[in-house]
Amino acid sequence: MRRQWSRADSGAGVSLAIADQVTGQAIGSIVLMLRPQPGVVGFGYWVIPSMRGRGIATRAVMLASAWALDVAGIERVEAWVEPDNRASQRVLAAAGFAQEGVLRSFLAFPGRRADAVVFSRIRNGPGVSSLARPPSR
């Protein structure tokens, strides 16, 4: 929690809780991190296992990207996703992100590296209908 809260203070980005609309209980998180490139923000997000598959991440990504692009003055929001994370890729496609390509051996995890599929939405970019279709399951 301390690490999440410190992001806004340090200027690194913003960590938000995803809350249940009725109970207000925290059921996930969405993090917007400033990239080194001006006007670019990267997204990371998760939803607790018992609440997955209900469109929660899709709605959170839609709301946060609309806020970033339409209110916060960000020009590009992007996400880096592992190739086998189909659920996350479907979330981004449903939220109007375009799939741009694959950065090989881009992500570093303890003891392993992975490719990253790059997705983005840009300010005044094309709407959902004109973007690539979500990957099939």
Ligand X SMILES: CC(C)(COP(=O)(O)OP(=O)(O)OC[C@H]1O[C@@H](n2cnc3c(N)ncnc32)[C@H](O)[C@@H]1OP(=O)(O)O)[C@@H](O)C(=O)NCCC(=O)NCCS
Residues interacting with ligand X, by CB under 6 A? Answer: 45-47, 52-58, 79, 81, 85-88, 90-91, 94, 134, 137
**Among residues 27 and 74, whose Cβ is nearest to ligand X?**
27
Q: Which of 85, 71, 64 is nearest to 137 (CA)?
A: 85
**Among residues 73 and 109, whose Cβ is nearest to ligand X?**
109
Q: Residue 66 belongs to what H/E stretch?
A: helix 56-70
**What is the smallest separation between the CB atom of 34 and ligand X, expressed in angstroms?**
17
Instruction: Identify whether the C-beta of residue 49 lies closer than 8 Å to the C-beta of residue 40.
Output: no
**Among residues 104 and 124, whose Cβ is nearest to ligand X?**
104
**Among residues 54 and 113, whose Cβ is nearest to ligand X?**
54
Cα distance between residue 38 and residue 41, in whole Å: 9
**What is the smallest separation between the CB atom of 50 and ligand X, expressed in angstroms?**
10
Instruction: Identify whether the C-beta of residue 115 lies closer than 8 Å to the C-beta of residue 82.
Output: yes
Residue 67's Cβ-count burial label (10 Å; 0-12, 13-18, 19+) is: middle
**What is the smallest separation between the CB atom of 91 and ligand X, expressed in angstroms?**
5
**What is the smallest separation between the CB atom of 92 and ligand X, expressed in angstroms?**
8
